[in-house]
């Protein structure tokens, strides 16, 4: 077949197939073993990164839990301190039953209110908690969770709760 008798598309197809075969012979690819080794190495690296990120995530979460407990304890103790400072009479400070009862007038027009703070120790793996009740509300409200121990101590009856100025007015270990 001469060049003139061949169709133009046959010439182009023939040239393309010659170029493709020649190009493929000169190209070098990855063998199956090389691909398996690289995938294995990549898998090990990814597993190590996943383990690191998983550990970091757990560590961060435990830090968040500690921060939440600390913040809740601070808020609860600040509320208790503020209300005790406003109190006019401490009715009962019971170290045995871990509670303190006092009378306070919050200036909201409702008159005197009796407020009770107490501690309920944990039982059977449960954590203890500090609670508050008021004559204005019937149900106890949990102020601070995860409390190991608490002790309410009242020194003196001069309404300062620290008669000898030694700073021993405290809610124990929170």
Determine, yes or no, domain membership for 78.
yes
pLDDT at residue number 44: 97
pLDDT in tens, 19-58: 555 555 556 788 899 999 999 999 999 999 999 999 999 9
List the single range of 49-53, 89-93, 115-119 with lowest mean pLDDT: 89-93
Taking the C-alpha atoms of residue 115 and residue 109, their distance in angstroms, rounded to an integer, is: 16
Q: Does pLDDT of 97 surpass 60?
A: yes
Residue 138 lies in a domain: yes
pLDDT value of position 8: 64
Rounded CA-CA distance 110/103 in Å is 13
Residue 50 CA, distance from chain mean position? 21
1 within a domain of the structure (yes/no): no
Domain limits for position 53: 31-174
In a domain, 131, yes or no: yes
Burial 117-138 (b: 16+ CB within 10 A, else e): bbbbeeeeeeebbbbbbbeeee
- Residue 141: which pLDDT band, with cuts at 50, 70 and 90? confident
Q: Is 26 contained in some domain?
A: no
Distance CA 144, CA 131 (A): 7
User: pTM for the whole thing?
Assistant: 0.54
How many domains, the chain?
1
Residue 84 lies in a domain: yes
């Amino acid at each position: 077949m001469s060049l003139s008798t061949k169709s133009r598309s046959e010439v182009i197809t023939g040239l393309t197939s010659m170029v493709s075969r020649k190009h493929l012979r000169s190209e070098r690819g990855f063998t199956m073993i090389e691909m398996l080794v690289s995938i294995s190495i990549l898998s090990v690296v990814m597993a190590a990164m996943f383990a690191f990120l998983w550990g970091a995530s757990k560590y961060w979460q435990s830090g968040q839990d500690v921060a939440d407990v600390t913040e809740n304890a601070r808020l609860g103790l600040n509320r208790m301190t503020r209300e005790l400072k406003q109190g006019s009479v401490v009715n009962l400070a019971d170290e045995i039953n871990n509670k303190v009862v006092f009378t306070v007038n919050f200036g909201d027009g409702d008159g005197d209110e009796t407020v009770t703070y107490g501690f309920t120790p944990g039982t059977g793996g449960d954590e203890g908690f500090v609670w508050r009740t008021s004559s204005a509300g019937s149900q106890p409200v949990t102020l601070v969770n995860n409390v190991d121990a608490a002790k309410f101590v009242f020194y003196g009856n001069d309404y300062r709760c620290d008669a000898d100025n030694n700073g021993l007015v405290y809610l124990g270990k929170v």
